[in-house]
Amino acid sequence: MTEISSLTIAQAGRLIAARELSPVEYTDALLARITALDPIYHAFIAVTADIARAEARAAEAAIARGNRRGPMHGIPYALKDIFDVAGLATTCHSKLRAGHRATADATVVHRLREAGAVLLGKLSLHEFANGGPTLELPWPAARNPWNTDLHPGGSSSGCGTAAALGLAPATLGTDTGGSVRNPATCCGVIGMKPSYGAVSRAGVFPLAFSLDHVGPITRTVEDNAILFQTIAGHDPADPASARRAPADCLAGLRQGIKDLKIGVIAHFYEEDMAADPQQVAAIADAIALLQRLGAEVKPVRLSPLATWMDCGRIIHYAEAYAIHERDLQERPEDFASITRRRLLSGAFIAASDYVKAQQLRTVLREEYAAMLAEVDALITISSFDLPCRIDDESEIARTYERQCRMPFNVAGAPAISVPTGFSRDGLPLAMQITGRTFDEAMVYRVAWAYCDAAGWCERRPPIVEPALA
């Protein structure tokens, strides 16, 4: 059998269903791996070993009785520490939340419990999902699994690290301006930001109400679709939740992409902002592969990247400041400096500018929808730069917003980050695939076809052995 920490959700699910893999054995193996490796990589803020073992035993007993609930039954998962789990702290990786205890599960946690999944613990993040890679936090910052001197992307940093290292086959993060797709990009895994309203945010600490999304990070596209299917669907507790059933993203996953029309938003990274040549070369190779798979690929144009970024930034900063205004006034010293600077910038955004940004957003969303009436999916770059050192504050500040992810938060459209190769130094490269609102099925279809042909998801980071750390 494949080494247990390398099992995908789909593989483990089939073995569990066939009674060839015990959920208890699986959970114990991952807890042992976390114990061995997490002191080096710091993906976890809290490991919930007792909960995990109890849920694994319950899953094993239910499956033995013939009551298997689906593909996530008995599968371990971990959460960015921004999701409420009844009885546990939701720290948001901040000193301000150290004494917090949740009284109820977030909706997505409830759905995972109902599916029989097994909670391994809570994962590291940028403070309140808004700061940036910094060592100035109550718990150690997560490290890049390909090079521990580098940052792993954020804000869902622990999700990317845990998924890449095989510490958890399923992880859940949040994405307001790219915070699921950025760690997926930096860690060489799959990160999906679903359509706005496709997944409930009830019980998730907010960053910016009109831009926040919950999304899965996994090692394969199929696993990502399985996790998305488990958590998606209408929730009356989230006012923005869409009143529609999620599409079946697994039924057509392997249909291929022959004769599909795919647009390339190349001006984002060729004209609007200069990208690392290695990122550009990798997406060029990806385009060639998509063409060999039978897709019709052509360049398309949207509004300049700066227009999308400025629109999203104003909305993000204004809404984030509204959430944290009281603590910024009363306890500013308890925020990390990078978080405090970012949050305080929202205090200087005029109400008129916020309203204009929301009006512009409507125009941009209409533009995006019109473009997707002409093609089945779009692709573009994810990050312009490779990850820098986690302790290089000036380089972090320079590169933090050099990315193409915010446009799809503004559009509210599904967007997935997939690996496109590796740099000369062995760091992951990536692109995004995006599609029509609530057409996650098409996005997953294109992503699966590309990743299956390219094979980059099969590569694993070199492990730093504990004795050598």
Residue 467 tokens, joined: 């004795």
Q: How far apart are CA 448 and CA 183, in angstroms?
A: 19
Rounded to whole angstroms, the Cα distance separating 461 from 162 reads 11
Q: What is the dihedral of CA 355, 403, 202, 198, to 10 degrees?
A: 90
Q: Are 116 and 59 in contact (CB under 8 A)?
A: yes
Using CB atoms within 10 A of its CB, is residue 50 exposed (0-12), middle (13-18) or buried (19+)? exposed
Out of 5, 22, 80, 200, which one is annotated catalytic? 80
Phi/psi at 231 (nearest 5 deg)? -100, -15
Task: Give the number of other CB atoms < 10 A from CB of residue 344.
Answer: 17
Rg (CA), the chain: 21
Write the CA distances from 170 to 71, 222, 311, 314, integer angstroms.
12, 11, 32, 32
Indicate which residue of 5, 94, 124, 155 is catalytic.
155
* Closest alpha carbon to 449 in 368, 374, 376, 384: 376
For 187, list phi and psi in degrees, rounded to 5: -105, 0
**337 an active-site residue?**
no
Nearest to 27 by CA among 55, 67, 63: 55
From residue 245, give the alpha-carbon distance in Å to each of 210, 221, 443, 444, 447.
Answer: 21, 21, 17, 17, 22
Distance CA 223, CA 52 (A): 20
Q: Are 8 and 76 a contacting pair, CB within 8 Å?
A: no
Residue 122: active-site member: no
Q: Tell me if 42 sits within 8 A of 81, measured CB to CB.
A: no
Which residue is catalytic, options 124, 157, 179, 200?
Answer: 179
Closest CA to 78 of 173, 10, 150, 151: 173
Distance of CA 272 to the CA centre of its chain: 25
Q: Which segments of 50-179 are extended strands (E)?
A: 76-80, 118-123, 170-175
Q: With beta carbons less than 8 A apart as the criterion, state whether 413 and 368 touch.
A: yes
> Torsion over CA of 389, 143, 163 and 253, rounded to 10 degrees?
-10
Q: Quick check: is 179 catalytic? A: yes
Query: At 22, is the secondary structure helix, strand, or coil?
Result: coil
Q: Which residues are catalytic?
A: 80, 155, 179
